[in-house]
Structure 1
């Protein structure tokens, strides 16, 4: 039997980009995705985590998701939408609306649960995918972002997060292999950082020094496709069938050149190893362009004036500008206004200006950069750490990030209770 599905992830609904809402960009993406669903009628849509940008998404972001699910169900009533929570999501929150999701043939796995015996509840993580005739054509093993508190300490094989993650994969895949029939495909959907994955500067760190990046050795050869979320660049990891779909829109200026896409996957387990899967990367149109302008000030002004003209009346639809200028001297007080005036009128939003002091060749000093971008908790911690003269310590930074995750988990638990 053949199963066809779309793989997407990292929507980050509700994101604000330097205090500018991405609502319009997400609306354009979701409208485009609905057209693809109507045209190709897949059996399933897999959303591999980071559905929302924050654990407490605004009502407008939640409305976007649920309106999309309703519209998708109208266009493809047989299609199932399967979602997992990412590290930006509240697993409890997205599970609380299960009765609503059922109306739209959707299912979400937000957290790892334990059964009455205190063991991992594997049944909840194995989601059947049906064809138009209600035959099971595949099983999706759905693994949300794995927080240590949810999976450690269950038995002697789960003493720390690494052993717990390995144990969970082994148990889940073994159970799925017992359950599946030869003609059914096995799909594993996970929100994780895999070894060898290429990152951007917009992903929230969930590992330190790559020591906790997961190995693709976790995936048994019986798995026909691994649908990954977390990294924003579309990419394969080691093998053709282990993939990050990437984010649908650029979430930072470092992602300007990413070819954002949804992966259209067709699996036929009855075929030989070389032809049992087919992939098509469906390119996502970019509704708002990002521009990064770099160079000495005179060159920056020249580049700004050379940008395309033509007014865009709605400010929420205007293109984004990031300027990094190089200088030997402190900036003039009215520099921002000068830069704004150099831009073609009513087409762009200047969202970031950073300066890089160029040392003279004789001094041989390193470049120093000052950015106006608000610091993340990790960057702020690193700045304070450096300011106090301490050397870089991955173990300390790992502990700090663990505290952030614990604080987020505590907040989720309070909301859940």
Structure 2
């Protein structure tokens, strides 16, 4: 028996990009995804974490998700929607709405739970996937983002983060092997940074010492497909069947060239190794562009005037624009005004103007940026080092980012 499913992740509903919301783009993506569900009628939709952009998402972001689930259920009543929490999500929060999710044939796994005997509750992590005849065609091993504070100390085998992650994978895979029959597939869904994965600058840095990235050796050969979330670039990791679907929209300018997609996957466990697994990327249309202009200062205004024109009525549908110019002399004091006058009317949202000036004849560059977004704790911390004449120490930055994330997570959970 074969199983057909769609693999997506890292929606980041509710994201603000340089103080601009992404509601329009997310609405367009979800409408597009509903069309794919209607046409393809998969057995399951897998959302591999970072459903929301923040732990306490706005009501509008939550409404987007639940309206999507209701609409998807109307279009494909037999389809199961399986979700896990990412590092941007509150696992406890998304599990609180289980009774609502059941109405839409949806299930979410937010955190690792223990049974009364203190062992891992594997039943919550091992979810059967059914076909239209109510036969089990696959098992989904659902692993949310594994925070050290939530998984260490579960038992004597989980004394530190590394041992806890390995133990959880071993126990879950062993239980899945015991339950599956020969004609049922095993799909592992995880939100994690795998070794060898290519990152962008929009993934929130989550580090545990120097061992953040996990090894694909955690995945037993019996696993037919690994549906990953966390990294925003669609990519395979080591083997064809271990894949990140990537985010549906670009979440930073470093993702301009990403080919955002949803993966359509079919697995037939009864076939040989060469034919049992098939996948097809379904490319997502980009509804709002990210445009970057780089030019010498004398050519800058003409390049801006050459941008495509044509008014876009709704602000949320206008393209994002970043400008970088090179000069070895001070720019005119009214440069920003010149840029705004040269821009085609009501077509772009200007996010940032960056000045790059040449300090030496050997073309070493020093960069000065005018960023229209507020500073982040990470940038402020790094600037302290720079002002003292030092490059930020990577190990110290990693420790700071870990402490910052843990503090923010604790604060958000208390406020929630």
Whether these two folds match at TM > 0.5 is: yes
Q: Aligned-pair distance for 1:358?
A: 1.5
Counterpart of 2:165 in 1: which secondary structure? helix
Aligned to 2:328: 328
Task: Report the TM-score when normalising by structure 2.
Answer: 0.96
Shift of 1:317: 1.0
Matched, 1:370 2:372: no
SS of the residue 2:292 aligns to: strand
Structure 1 unaligned blocks of 5 or more: none
Which secondary structure does the structure 2 equivalent of 1:240 belong to?
strand
* Secondary structure of the structure 1 residue equivalent to 2:227: strand
Q: Distance in 2 between matches of 1:26 and 1:341?
A: 30
Worse-superposed segment, 188-197 or 392-401: 392-401
- Tell me what 1:205 maps to: 205
Displacement, 1:370? 2.6
55-64 or 302-311, which moves further after superposition? Answer: 302-311
In structure 2, the residue matched to 1:226 is: 226
Tell me, yes or no, if structure 1 residue 74 matches structure 2 residue 78. Answer: no
Alpha-carbon shift at residue 310 of structure 1 (Å): 1.1
> Aligned partners of 1:391 and 1:287: how far apart in 2?
39
Aligned to 2:44: 44
Post-superposition shift, 1:397?
2.6
SS, match of residue 367 in structure 1: strand
Looking at structure 2, the residues matched to 99 and 152 of structure 1 have their Cα atoms a distance apart, in angstroms, of 29
CA spacing shift, 1:104–1:399, aligned 2, 3 Å: same
In the TM superposition, what is the alpha-carbon distance from 1:389 to its structure 2 partner?
Answer: 5.1
Partners of 1:113 and 1:150 within 8 A in 2: no
1:184 aligns with 2:184: yes
CA pair 23-15 structure 1, distance change in 2 beyond 3 A: same
SS in 1 for 2:107: strand
Pairwise CA distance, 1:302: 2.2
The CA distance in 2 between the partners of 1:209 and 1:382, in whole Å, is 19
Cα RMSD of the aligned pairs, angstroms, is 1.7
Q: Distance in 2 between matches of 1:171 and 1:41?
A: 32
Per the TM alignment, residue 414 of structure 1 is displaced from its structure 2 partner at its CA by: 2.3
Aligned to 1:319: 319
Q: Which residue of 2 aligns with 1:61?
A: 61
SS at match of 2:127: strand
1:101-144 alpha-carbon deviations (Å, 9 max, x no partner): 00000000111111112222111100110101111110001111
Q: Within 2, Cα distance between the matches of 1:176 and 1:287?
A: 40
1:382-416 deviations in whole A, cap 9, x for unaligned?
A: 22234345664444333222222321332354256
Q: Which secondary structure does the structure 2 equivalent of 1:53 belong to?
A: coil
- Aligned residue for 2:236? 236
Counterparts of 1:252 and 1:235, CA distance in 2: 17
Corresponding residue number in structure 1 for 2:160: 160
1:247 aligns with 2:247: yes
Corresponding residue SS for 2:168: helix
Aligned position for 1:89: 89
Q: Which runs of 5+ in 2 are unaligned?
A: none
Secondary structure of the structure 1 residue equivalent to 2:266: strand
Give distance in 2, aligned partners of 1:135 and 1:50: 30
Do 2:356 and 2:365's aligned partners in 1 also have CA atoms closer than 8 Å?
A: no
The Cα shift of 1:330 comes to 2.7
| Correspondence 1:275-354 to 2 at 5 A | 275-354=275-354
Q: 1:270 to 1:216 in 2, by over 3 A?
A: same
Partner of 2:169: 169
Alignment check: 8 A CA contact 1:209 1:394 kept:
no
Q: What CA deviation, in whole Å up to 9, does each residue of 1:351-408 have, x standing for no partner?
A: 111111212316x654233341433322322222343456644443332222223213
Q: Does the aligned pair in 2 maintain the 1:197–1:237 contact within 8 Å?
A: yes
1:191-220 CA distances to partner (integer Å, 9 max, x unpaired)? 010111111111101137963200101100
- Paired residues of 1:232 and 1:247 also in contact (CA < 8 A): yes
Matched pairs, number = 415
User: In the alignment, what sits opposite 1:147?
Assistant: 147
Q: 1:377-388 residue pairs with structure 2 within 5 A?
A: 377-388=377-388
Matches of 1:111 and 1:360, distance apart in 2: 53
Report whether the alignment pairs 1:6 with 2:33: no
SS at match of 2:193: coil
